Every structure is written in structure tokens, then in C-alpha cells.
Amino acid sequence: MRVISGTCRGKKLSAPPGVTTRPTSDRVKEALFSILASRIDFANIRVLDICAGTGSLGIEALSRGAGSCCFIEYDPSLKTIIDKNLLVTHFQDRSEILIMDAVKALRVIADRGQRYDLAFLDPPYTSELYAGVLGALGSSGLLTRDFILVAECSARNPLLESYGHLKRFDRRIYGETALELFKED
């Protein structure tokens, strides 16, 4: 697993041993960021990486010029991996890591009045988190007017077309993985 493009292009990122965490493959990440690059300017945007795992999606956005990224991860053992990946890419000063339930973390940052331009959601494919997190994002005021939210899920189980004010506008399939893109209706 590596950073695909930007200031840290080619840097190798760490992943935990085993199969519990499923980092986004380089092939899917490259396709995703090609889609995003045609729609947004990464310069100084604020990014949320929800169910961050290794942090590779948020780090890719930082490498392409994002101003900051908030990494949200429930599993405390993954904080060490995210910290290590931020250290190797030198993005510690532009990052925050919240180790807590995703919906609770969204409430915490909403209470701070922070708003984000790009959000990634990549929980385990069998997770029950999709509806809760997408519903919370759709009603929280956390996202700017022109935001894009990307949910990575199983190609076999499409998400709903809408969650509150969030409406799906694109869906791409790469083998077993689907990328579903949402914006405000």
C-alpha cells in the first residue's frame, strides 16, 4: 500500500497484520482520486476520513494538497498505524485522530463548528454503520455546500440512493468494491 500521487507519491504506508482491516487497494484508490480530481481542487480543503483504518484515504488527500484531515477510527489498536503513516508522510501537524464511535465523533466535531469539503466512509462491508453515519452527516451541518462524500462498500450491496439531504450521484464498481459518491440534494 502506497501514496499514489502528490507530495508523498510512492511513500509506503503501514497496515496491521491479518485481515481484520481491509485497506483500500491502490487500484481502487487511484480510480477514486482520478474521479475526485475532475470534480474538486484539493488545495487547502478540509477532509474527514471516517472508519480510517490505516488512514490511507485521508493521507492521499493530504498528499494532493488538502489543508487538514480528521481521522475517525473506533479501533484503538489502529491509532499506532495511523500515527506511523502520518509520521512517514510528515502530515502530523495537519491531522487529528479521534478514537471513538463514528457517530459520536461526528457529534463532537459538529459541536466545535467545524465543516468539511470531502468525506470518506470505509467501514467493514458487513457493518451496520453506513446508515447511521450517512444519516448523521446528512443532518449535522458538518459538510460545506459543495462537499463530496465517498462511501466504499460491497459491490453486491448497494447503499440507498439518499440519506436525508445526501443524494448519490455516482456509483463505480471495481471487482468486489463499490465507490458511491454523494452530495447535497
Q: Is residue 4 part of a domain?
A: no
Q: Is residue 134 part of a domain?
A: yes
Tell me if 121 sits within 8 A of 135, measured CB to CB.
Answer: no
Tell me if 13 sits within 8 A of 59, measured CB to CB.
Answer: yes
Task: State residue 25's pLDDT score.
Answer: 80
Task: State residue 74's pLDDT score.
Answer: 95
For residue 33, give the CATH number of its domain: 3.40.50.150
Q: Is residue 15 part of a domain?
A: no
Torsion of CA 168, 162, 173, 175, to 10 degrees: 160
Task: State residue 21's pLDDT score.
Answer: 62
Tell me if 102 sits within 8 A of 119, measured CB to CB.
Answer: no
Nearest to 53 by CA among 166, 140, 134, 152: 152
How far are the Cα atoms of 13, 73, 92, 141, 185 from residue 88, in angstroms, in the given order? 8, 19, 9, 33, 38
How far are the Cα atoms of 100, 114, 171 from residue 180, in angstroms, in the given order? 24, 24, 4
pTM over 0.85: yes
Consecutive H or E run containing 133 = helix 129-139
- Model confidence over 127-156: pLDDT tens digits? 889 999 998 888 778 899 899 999 999 999
DSSP letter at 93 equals G
Task: State residue 184's pLDDT score.
Answer: 87
Task: State residue 91's pLDDT score.
Answer: 97
Pairing between β-strand 46-50 and β-strand 116-121 as defined by DSSP bridges: parallel
Q: What percent of the chain has pLDDT over 90?
A: 79
> At which residue does the C-alpha cell 487538514 appear?
68
| Structural domain boundaries, residue 158 | 26-184
Sequence-distant (≥ 6) Cβ neighbours of residue 120 within 8 angstroms: 47, 48, 49, 50, 52, 57, 58, 149, 150, 152
Q: Is residue 1 part of a domain?
A: no
Q: Is residue 156 part of a domain?
A: yes
Structurally, the chain folds into a number of domains equal to: 1
Q: Is residue 13 part of a domain?
A: no
Rounded CA-CA distance 111/107 in Å is: 6
Q: Is residue 78 part of a domain?
A: yes
